[in-house]
Chain A
Amino acid sequence: MSSAERWPVRPSAASAAQRRRLAVLRLLLGSLLLTLLARLAFVQLLDEHKPQQSAGLTHPAGIVVPAPRGAILDATGKVLVGNRTTHVLTVDRSALQQQDDHGRAVLAALAPLLHVSAADLQQEITPCGVHVPAPCWTGEPYQPVPVATDVSAAVVLAVSEHAEQFPGVAIDNQTVLDYPGGTLAAHLLGYTGAVSAADQKANAKLADSDTIGRSGLEESYDSVLRGVDGTQQVALDARGDTVGAGTLTPPVPGDSLVTSIDANVQALAENALVQQLQQQQRKGKPAPAGAVVVEDPHTGRVIAAASYPTYDPRLFVGGISSADYAKLTAPGADDPLVGRAIDGAYAPGSTFKLISSSDDVMSGAINTTDSYPCPGALNVDGRMKTNYDSESFGGPVSLQFALDVSCDTFFYAPAVAEWQADQARVDVGQKPLETMQKMAAAFGVASSPHIDLPADEQASGSIGSRENRMALWRANKADYCAAAKRGYPDISNPTDRAYLTLLASQNCTDGWRFFAGNNADTAIGQGDTTLSPLQLADAYSAMVNGGTLYSPTIGWGVLNGAGKVVRTIRPKVVRKVPVDRSYLDFFGNALHFQANHVVSGALAFDGSPIQTLIGGKTGTAEVYGKLDTSWLASWGPYQPGAPVGDSKYVVVGMIEQAGTGASAAGPMLRQVWEGLLGANGAPASAGAAPARTLPKVVPAQLSRSLLNPARTAATSPGRRPTAPPSSGLSPVLPSRATSTSPGKAKPSSSAGRR
């Protein structure tokens, strides 16, 4: 053990110099500590201008009082979407904290009433934090926490009669959207959802607790319907507990929207649609979906638009549950959120002949007096294109007859001639005229109808043309070529397999070519041409009204809380279609269901008292791999020989996978027309005509359930079941147009029809 292993034994070793050094440190440290003491004495004892204490003071804060949304009314003033009051039970944490046991007894007494555990309640009202897992309170800590919505009268009584037992527990009257018609017009009305961060970025005025229109009229008229939130000022103490209430800035309820929808007609259309679907299904047809549109041809106002399948907008009230949302968007659910009437695009079949006829007569290829061939089959591009069931009508026929019996070959000849003239132009480097496509565009095909619904909820359709063909080929070329290479090994029938493989290989190399046969297909509403039922109604409205194409509207007027009209929404004229009125009248009269005509659409109306008041054009559109889409475009009422412009309604019906227009859409629209015109009782609309003036609305109708601005009526967000992917609904909706455009980009078109 050497001495080096120990600490040096005694201080004598430290020299005087070394001790001086340590004295310096002592002095330095001592002065630092003295400085602290001096500063402490100043801050605590001597400072005459002490900073104001935060503790003990109260500071103001605001609780958002959401504005009730405005109502949506039908053309007669009936409420389509209103408000109802629901009882919400809230727990005020501030009040609980002031209890000796921090409110444990209150929660314990409350839990059995609500059929939950006290621990769950405690968890729900604890503000979310780093160490607080969900479910926790996401709102402001000082805001009363809603713990149950739609509480029963028994609970309301129990809580209010024993108020002393439940300090801090209150019953709020909260306003939520109400749908008196249930699923009626669901796709048109739309639904609301919780405000998302993106919404708040776009509009800083949105509070966390607000709801916002996410679909339908609720979305497109959101700014009208939403109103202005109010604020309840409260005083908070140092802990953030509410110690007093200040002024209330009451919310300004949203304005109400009167629509051109007639609830009776809408119900009539929806019933006819559902009943016809059921009937077709009983006949063994798939008939999974369909639509009916009722439009006022003279104003472009939509009176009814029914779509099936549909959904219940009440599911979205207070936030849709993820389970319900998953059900609505499941692959097998057939997209009930997509309104077929406006957002579905389908091959229009022979209903398109309004447009091809317009082109033919305006270009001079056909006139209304001469006769033209209507063979059972016609050789186009070396391929036999036949009439439906290869039916032949003997010798040459007139345009009227061709329209009435829907002779396809009649319309092929001018389309092929037009194509040949265009091809000659293309061959010498000129642009093709494509007059039929131009006529279609004039009738609104392949451009948005611009109805007053969200832009992504209305289909534009498409037109078979050289340009469109090229675009489709570019988009699908890789698939065609891959299929040609693979050769459909999963198809057992060798003939089918060889045909499909040949088709794919043709499409791979030449799919961009727009043949004469394609133009012939376009002329009869097949091939690459698609339309929504609404667009077809718009086109036939133009025929009825003498040539005016409208941007259709649903919104008609905006009413303030007093029921006063603050804005009238007027339909916009898109254009006059370039067709002489005499021709349009000719078409309308040619297709009148009068007895001595053989109009295909009249079949379904045989024996109906209103048969002689209606005109209509059927359509039977082939869809590759599926049963035909059944169409009927109709108008009336007008007497035989009277101007077609006397018609008050245009009604379009469509049923997917149901067969011919006369056999499915026909009977469906017969039911609608009989209801509209009162064949079996009173007409659905008073006077059997669209309403011409805005309804008189009593304010009570609008404000019957508007907020009563009591202190606790802070209509807070309510129990919002976990919304699907956070709060933003629209971004996750399925892309609509594509899912309901059967056969749009399928190789069927080049195979020709029938």
Chain B
Amino acid sequence: MTLALSRRSPLRTLADTRRLRSYDWPMLAAALALCLVGALLVWSATRTRLELAGANPETYLAKHLLNTALASALMVLASRADSRLFRLLAPVLYLGSILGLLAVFAIGTTINGAHAWIELGGGFEIQPAEFAKLGLVVALAVLFAQRATGRPDRPPTARDLAVAGLLVAVPLDLIMMQPDLGSALVLLAATFGVLVAAGVRAHWLLGLVLAGALAAVLAVKAGVLADYQLARFTAFAHPGRDLQGVAYNTTQAHIAIAHGGFFGQGLFHGAQTHGAFVPEQQTDFVFSVAGEELGFLGSAAIILLLGFLLWRGLRIATASTGAARLIAAGVVCWLGFQAFENIGMNLGLTPVTGLPLPFLSYGGSSMFAEGLALGLLQAIHRRTGR
């Protein structure tokens, strides 16, 4: 990635120092802390399973740390972008992610029922939906900012909304076809964030939310959702019904978290985790490791750290204008909603949709996309000064 357009100047060293200072360090510290806690949780969740299979128990730990390092590099690269680059990159990012989503249908592989991955070889694969979240947020932000040029306080028109609707519909449909309900919901949440920040009239927003709810009901009735997705919702509504099937996952996660108590059973000492009772524990159910082994103390700290990170993000949004503000708002809503949905399903609060917990779950694509998103927030922060 060659985003950087660093300007040569005699005062370069001085400028670099200033730039270094201009990062939002508290936010980055929170993100890094979450990544490292995530590494421990992933390690704990996978070491027994790997050992049982006769493999190196540190395999996932190593890969997770490698992903963190790569995501950090992407963050630094993205943090050097400026607004012009953004206007240039918006269509590239957006169209690129659409192409990625299309490529999934041609050469993708199916994992856990969703046809959402592209194998890269060597045990690596990417999930274009993760990058589509970023692409859509940037594209929407640039769209609304362009339309509002010169009239910053004028709310977006119906035509603006219609164009935005088209921009949303393409990746949303492609993701729903995989099908990946979780990512689709995150796209909607991020869009909602951009729309709110862009000043779309309140009654329109309300109308959109109601229309969305109606569409969801119709989708269920018309059978758009796959059987397993409906089954997950059913299992969510009636957790006791099918203990060995769909609800098994949530039940086991619930057991793990419930028995963490206040202080937890201690890292690597969770009986439920050690017994490998929770499927997908290093990815979608990594929070259950925290619940069991770090207890309320550790889990609440993770939620608070996430909250702190989101609060810093909104602060950056507040401090900026135009596309930058919309991007920041969109990214914050994306991360916030995804964290809520993921932790919610671990706690039996929301249905299981298959989403990673930002910064903590094992998974390259999501970490890279989150690294890029954080980098953009940093870029905005640095350019708006402090």
* B333 within 8 A of partner (CB): yes
Q: A10-B385, A39-B349 are in contact. Are A53 and B53 (CB under 8 A)?
A: no
Of B28-36, B93-101, B302-310, which binds chain A? B302-310
A44:B384 contact, CB within 8 angstroms: no
Of B125-133, B222-230, B321-329, which binds chain A? B321-329
A5:B314 contact, CB within 8 angstroms: no
Closest chain-A Cβ to B330's Cβ sits at a distance in Å of 10
B275:A239 contact, CB within 8 angstroms: yes
* B38 within 8 A of partner (CB): no
Contacts A32-B337, A55-B259 aside, 17 further interface pairs with beta carbons under 8 A come to A14-B325, A17-B199, A18-B153, A22-B325, A25-B197, A32-B340, A33-B303, A33-B304, A37-B300, A39-B347, A39-B348, A44-B295, A45-B296, A50-B255, A53-B259, A132-B54, A238-B271
A40:B271 contact, CB within 8 angstroms: no
A6:B53 contact, CB within 8 angstroms: no
Closest chain-A Cβ to B216's Cβ sits at a distance in Å of 19
A8:B320 contact, CB within 8 angstroms: yes
- With A and B bound together, what is the CA distance between A58 and B324 in angstroms? 56
Residues of B within 8 A of A247 (CB): none
* A122 within 8 A of partner (CB): yes
Which partner residue on chain A sits nearest B149 by CB separation? A4
B336:A32 contact, CB within 8 angstroms: yes
Q: A8-B322, A239-B276 are in contact. Are A53 and B271 (CB under 8 A)?
A: yes
A29:B54 contact, CB within 8 angstroms: no
B196:A40 contact, CB within 8 angstroms: no
* B363 within 8 A of partner (CB): no
* A596 within 8 A of partner (CB): no
- Secondary structure at the B interface, as helix, strand, loop or mixed, is helix
- With A and B bound together, what is the CA distance between A36 and B302 in angstroms? 11
B319:A238 contact, CB within 8 angstroms: no
Q: Which of B276, B333, B336 has the most CB of A within 10 A?
A: B336
Residues of A within 8 A of B299 (CB): 40, 44
Residues of B within 8 A of A19 (CB): 318
Residues of B within 8 A of A15 (CB): 152-153
Q: A14-B318, A24-B196, A239-B48 are in contact. Are A40 and B344 (CB under 8 A)?
A: no
Closest chain-A Cβ to B253's Cβ sits at a distance in Å of 10
* A43 within 8 A of partner (CB): yes
* B84 within 8 A of partner (CB): yes
Residues of B within 8 A of A721 (CB): none
* B89 within 8 A of partner (CB): no
Number of residues of chain B lying within 8 A (CB) of chain A: 69
Residues of B within 8 A of A127 (CB): 52
* B343 within 8 A of partner (CB): yes
A52:B321 contact, CB within 8 angstroms: no
Residues of A within 8 A of B332 (CB): 25, 29
* B 72-102 to A, binary, CB cutoff 8 A, 1 in contact else 0: 0000000000111000000000000000000
Residue among B276, B291, B333, B343 making CB contact with A25, cutoff 8 Å? B333
Q: A7-B320, A7-B380 are in contact. Are A44 and B262 (CB under 8 A)?
A: yes
* A 727-751 to B, binary, CB cutoff 8 A, 1 in contact else 0: 0000000000000000000000000
* A323 within 8 A of partner (CB): no
Q: A10-B384, A53-B255 are in contact. Are A22 and B317 (CB under 8 A)?
A: yes
Residues of B within 8 A of A26 (CB): 311, 314
Residues of A within 8 A of B232 (CB): none
B197:A21 contact, CB within 8 angstroms: yes
Closest chain-B Cβ to A131's Cβ sits at a distance in Å of 5
- With A and B bound together, what is the CA distance between A49 and B83 in angstroms? 54
Which partner residue on chain B sits nearest A238 by CB separation? B275
Closest chain-A Cβ to B194's Cβ sits at a distance in Å of 10
B385:A9 contact, CB within 8 angstroms: yes
